[in-house]
């Protein structure tokens, strides 16, 4: 089958027009030579020529079709339209919120009454005032308006009382007055106290109390330390400049503020270079007790002194009697103190005598078992409940310093007797408390080890501060 010449020429012309570049190309300059080779191929190998020509034409028409159907970007038209549709508004419901009470707290000032305190707390509620005035439990609020106490009140915007929390003087409980559905109720509730452990360390420069004040140590903690170590250290005569002490104790917080100091957990007192340590342990008694790190009880049957931190004006010795002006043996210890200073029992006992006794003036005599008695003379008066045969506890107040009897000034005359013979209470060996059992000792030693580590660190901190 012969391929028509005009078809070949048209195809060649078509390829020539489509492939002709705009710029000069050396390949197209050789176009006559290429055509001559094509004609020669048609004569020499007609079958190969026809196949090659067919593939060429198909490729060319494919390129033309692709070129013809490709859209031009300049001819694209984007159809845009703005559609506006109204949105439905959600229904609005009015919510009635319950009234919120205001909470205020304030400290009682020295001149405050319940009325002035109520105004500071935003209370304007005559019904609440009348309730506090008439309720037997709530009346304690009037009786215990102690300055410095923090009182909390919850009121509505118009001043109506919702709740009043009034701490009692025991620093453990509070009187709570509440308005429940228009009716007032009073109840006694424990304070919501938070306990934290604090640590302090100081050195004595002038006095024990002055050293405690420099580190803001509460007086009750200072007094506890004297009681704990009173059987081993004479806090009236043995303290020296340079003595050091460290203490770990509890502090109770109410609403984030210090409320009262609690119990000493561990303490160290270095007196004249000798270290004394004490660790509190719950030994099953009501208040627990203090022991050395080795487990020896520090509780003595008798306190060394019936008065806290007073000056000894006359010791157990020979002296010139201030009234009789003769040298006589002084068979007791005199503690100079202002009139009215509380006098405490040095041990558990029974009131054997109470009343006036010649030169002793107003006197209390306590018996402590079969062997021991103590005498407290020159008292200004006796504590409530102190009468013959009454039982007293160690540390209980039994009277007040005075100058009755043969006394040239206010002081307490104290005698410690064994089998009715006076002994020097500052030197005699005092009986101690009971020992721990084997099971208690194992638990105590684990607790003591932890506190001993803490006291070691406090000692290092104190020494570093001194350097």
Query: Which two three-digit tokens encode residue 77?
Result: 């038209």
Using a cut of 0.75, tell me whether the model's pTM lies above it.
Answer: no
Quick one: pLDDT at residue 1? 46
**What is the spatial distance between Cα 429 and Cα 396, in angstroms, rounded to a whole number?**
22
Question: Is the separation of the CB atoms in 46 and 54 below 8 Å?
Answer: no
Query: Which two three-digit tokens encode residue 72?
Result: 């031009």
Q: How confident is the model at residue 152 (pLDDT cuts 50, 70, 90)?
A: very high
Q: Which residue did the predictor score with more confidence, 19 or 264?
A: 264
Q: In this structure, how many other beta carbons lie within 10 angstroms of the beta carbon of residue 211? A: 21
Q: Which residue did the predictor score with more confidence, 322 or 409?
A: 409
Q: Which long-range CB contacts under 8 A does 116-122 form with residues at least 24 apart?
A: 117/145, 117/151, 118/153, 121/151, 121/153, 121/155, 121/164, 122/153, 122/155, 122/159
**What is the spatial distance between Cα 226 and Cα 76, in angstroms, rounded to a whole number?**
102
Average pLDDT over residues 54-77: 51
Mean pLDDT of the chain: 79
Quick one: pLDDT at residue 65? 45
User: Which of helix, strand or coil describes residue 218?
Assistant: coil
pLDDT digits over 335-392, tens only? 888 899 899 998 899 999 999 998 899 999 999 988 899 999 999 999 999 999 999 9
Quick one: pLDDT at residue 462? 63
Quick one: pLDDT at residue 325? 47
Q: In this structure, how many other beta carbons lie within 10 angstroms of the beta carbon of residue 367? A: 16
Residues 6+ apart with CB under 8 A from 290: 228, 264, 278, 279, 280, 281, 297, 298, 299
pLDDT over 80 (residue 183): yes
pLDDT over 50 (residue 423): yes
DSSP annotation of 347: S
Question: Is the separation of the CB atoms in 333 and 314 below 8 Å?
Answer: yes
pLDDT over 90 (residue 169): no
**What is the spatial distance between Cα 268 and Cα 245, in angstroms, rounded to a whole number?**
5
Average pLDDT over residues 44-56: 56
DSSP H stretches of helix in 215-300 = 219-229
Reported as type and span, the H/E element at residue 154 is: strand 150-155
pLDDT over 80 (residue 433): no
pLDDT over 50 (residue 324): no
pLDDT digits over 190-240, tens only? 988 889 999 999 999 988 888 999 999 998 899 889 888 887 887 877 889
Reported as type and span, the H/E element at residue 314 is: strand 311-314
pLDDT digits over 266-321, tens only? 999 999 999 999 999 987 665 688 999 988 888 877 887 888 754 434 433 444 44
User: Which of helix, strand or coil describes residue 131?
Assistant: helix
Query: Which two three-digit tokens encode residue 436?
Result: 């721990």
Q: Which residue did the predictor score with more confidence, 1 or 281?
A: 281
pLDDT over 80 (residue 51): no
pLDDT over 60 (residue 80): yes
Instruction: Judge residue 389's burial from the number of C-beta atoms within 10 Å of its C-beta, 0-12 exposed, 13-18 middle, 19 or more buried.
Output: exposed
Quick one: pLDDT at residue 312? 39
User: Which of helix, strand or coil describes residue 340?
Assistant: coil
Dihedral angle of Cα 17, 21, 24, 28, to the nearest 10 degrees: -50
Q: How confident is the model at residue 68 (pLDDT cuts 50, 70, 90)?
A: very low
**What is the spatial distance between Cα 464 and Cα 246, in angstroms, rounded to a whole number?**
14
């Amino acid at each position: 089958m012969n391929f028509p010449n005009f078809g070949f020429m048209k195809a060649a012309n078509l390829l020539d027009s489509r492939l002709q570049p705009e710029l000069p190309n050396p390949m197209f300059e050789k176009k006559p030579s290429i055509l001559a080779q094509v004609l020669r191929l048609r004569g020499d190998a007609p079958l190969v020529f026809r196949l090659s020509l067919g593939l060429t034409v198909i490729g060319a028409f494919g390129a033309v079709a692709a070129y013809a159907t490709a859209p031009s970007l300049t001819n694209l038209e984007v159809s845009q339209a703005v559609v506006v549709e109204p949105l439905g508004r959600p229904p609005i419901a009015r919510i009635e919120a319950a009234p919120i009470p205001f909470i205020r707290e304030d400290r009682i000032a020295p001149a405050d009454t319940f009325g002035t305190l109520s105004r500071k707390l935003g209370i304007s509620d005559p019904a609440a005032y009348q309730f506090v005035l008439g309720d037997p439990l709530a009346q304690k609020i009037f009786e215990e308006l102690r300055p410095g106490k923090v009182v909390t009140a919850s009121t509505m915007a118009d001043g109506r009382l919702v709740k009043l929390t009034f701490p009692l003087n025991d620093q453990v409980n509070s009187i709570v007055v509440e308005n429940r559905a228009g009716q007032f109720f009073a109840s006694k509730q424990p304070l919501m106290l938070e306990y934290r452990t604090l640590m302090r360390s100081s050195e004595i420069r002038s006095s024990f109390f002055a050293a405690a004040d420099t580190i803001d140590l509460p007086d009750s903690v200072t007094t506890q330390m004297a009681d704990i170590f009173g059987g081993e250290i004479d806090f009236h005569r043995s303290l020296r400049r340079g003595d050091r002490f460290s203490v770990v104790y509890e502090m109770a917080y109410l609403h984030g503020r210090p409320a009262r100091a609690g119990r000493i957990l561990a303490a160290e007192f270095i007196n004249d270079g000798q270290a004394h340590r004490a660790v509190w342990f719950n030994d099953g008694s009501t208040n627990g007790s203090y022991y050395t790190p080795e487990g020896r009880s520090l509780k003595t049957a008798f306190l060394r002194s019936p008065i806290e931190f007073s000056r000894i004006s006359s010791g157990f010795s020979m002296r010139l009697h201030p009234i009789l002006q003769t040298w006589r043996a002084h068979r007791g210890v005199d503690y100079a103190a202002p009139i009215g200073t509380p006098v405490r029992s040095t041990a558990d006992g029974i009131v054997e005598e109470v009343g006036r006794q010649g030169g002793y003036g107003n006197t209390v005599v306590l018996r402590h078992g079969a062997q021991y008695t103590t005498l407290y003379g020159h008292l200004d008066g006796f504590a409530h409940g102190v009468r013959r045969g009454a039982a007293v506890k160690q540390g209980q107040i039994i009277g007040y310093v005075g100058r009755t009897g043969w006394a040239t000034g206010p002081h307490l005359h104290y005698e410690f007797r064994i089998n009715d013979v006076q002994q020097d209470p500052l030197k005699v060996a005092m009986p101690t408390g009971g020992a721990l059992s084997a099971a208690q000792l194992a638990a105590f030693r684990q607790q003591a080890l932890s506190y001993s580590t803490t006291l070691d660190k406090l000692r290092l901190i104190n020494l570093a501060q001194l350097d």
